[in-house]
Amino acid sequence: MNSEPELILPDWPAPQNVRAVCTTRLGGVSLPPWDSLNLGVHVEDEPGHVQTNRQRVADRLGLASNSFGWLSQVHGTEVATLPAEGVPEADGSITDRPGQVCAILTADCLPVLFCNRSGTRVAAAHAGWRGLCSGILEKVAAGFDEPASELLAWLGPAIGPEHFEVGPEVREAFIGYDSRAAGAFSEHGARPGHFMADIYRLGRQRLESAGIEAVFFNSFCTVADSRRFYSYRRDGQTGRMASLIWLES
């Protein structure tokens, strides 16, 4: 519990001045059920533990703790431009200021990091199914000055398709926007009338619809990998990982 934070580095061809990482649950001081690198202040963990964990991440990355643009995430489509006053109620953030960190907290939802090929702007999005279906990824992409073809996106750790069971209303909502979404649902849910959903595929479809062709991802599953990842669906009361992106000063 006293080791350094364990980090995941995106495998994508971002410009050299673009830095991005995703934390795991390893390397912090929080006690069960938040053990150990919980970065969420809203999950009933001891506030002092969360602040210590956040400082550990900042120290590991060589960043000031006040450079992190934490959000109050509400499964919506608001995008905050950073730096901002206080803690914005938003599910996406974007910045062109070097050293300013866009930060997204997740524990099953899909985190998506963005940058432009010129390395002058970065962004992050929290895409639970509601925000994803409502257009959070498209809203973040629209915050860049360049055409979408000049953007790169990386999809971080989220619930895998073998564990994401949803009701018919979720499938209908996505298909109502784009009929291609039907391919991201399979009729193998444990409950009658339910479906297994592939949030990675749904995310890629929405990014491609927005014109972003350079989309990168790994085969993570927050539910299946309990050693590295928090999962709200698996554990209920649990911590949060952070997906972070910034421009080097």
Q: Are 247 and 184 in contact (CB under 8 A)?
A: no
Q: Which domains does the chain have, with CATH numbers?
A: 7-161+215-247 (3.60.140.10)
Strand 68-69 and strand 101-106: pairing? parallel
Q: What average pLDDT does range 20-35 have in this prediction?
A: 98
- List pLDDT tens digits, range 110-143: 999 999 999 999 999 999 999 999 999 999 999 9
pLDDT of 32:
97
- List pLDDT tens digits, range 57-114: 999 999 999 999 999 999 999 999 999 999 999 999 999 999 999 999 999 999 999 9
- List pLDDT tens digits, range 32-52: 999 999 999 999 999 999 999
Strand 92-95 and strand 151-155: pairing? unpaired
pLDDT of 219:
84
Q: What phi and psi, each to the nearest 5 degrees, are found at residue 232?
A: -65, -40
**pTM confidence score:** 0.95
Which parts of 56-202 are beta strand (E)? 68-69, 79-81, 92-95, 101-106, 110-116, 122-127, 151-155, 165-166, 185-186, 195-197
